[in-house]
Structure 1
């Protein structure tokens, strides 16, 4: 498990130069660290398949990952998956004894 002081690092000379230009021209500058965090979160969410989101939710439910990590990765998907699971369980409990198919 990663420690809180672990850093995500990459070589991005062009990105660094571009962020310096925007920082210089924007009144009050920009928070590059915040942009990097938000960008990473957005890209992580974009790369996840539905199956991976379900797996993340399963790990969250089992306590293998924190709520904060699950929320960062799947956001509103947590509530959506829980609603779908509840609807599925409700459907499974319906009394179908009087239903006939021809």
Structure 2
């Protein structure tokens, strides 16, 4: 569990290796196209979105037709694919306009 600035326990989420790479790619693209400050702001907002997923994992729909056990949320122009397990939420991929079926 993480602890928020208000002292409340926060649910856990983990990033897969692929999601880590996706976030690096998003950061590089953001730095180059929007500047470091805007890129950092977007990254921070994505992290808040991940925390929301961990706190309310069933808030977003299952996408079993793409991959059994996966759920999908949309943040800005990115689709966040995740799954719920005994340890919390695992963020699988953070994809832009890629072919999601091939990427998953």
Q: With the length of structure 2 as denominator, give the TM-score of the two structures.
A: 0.31
Structure 1 or 2: more helix by fraction: 1
**Greater relative contact order: 1 or 2 (C-alpha under 8 angstroms, separation 6 or more)?**
2
Decide which structure has the larger Cα Rg and report it: 1
Structure 1 or 2: more strand by fraction: 2
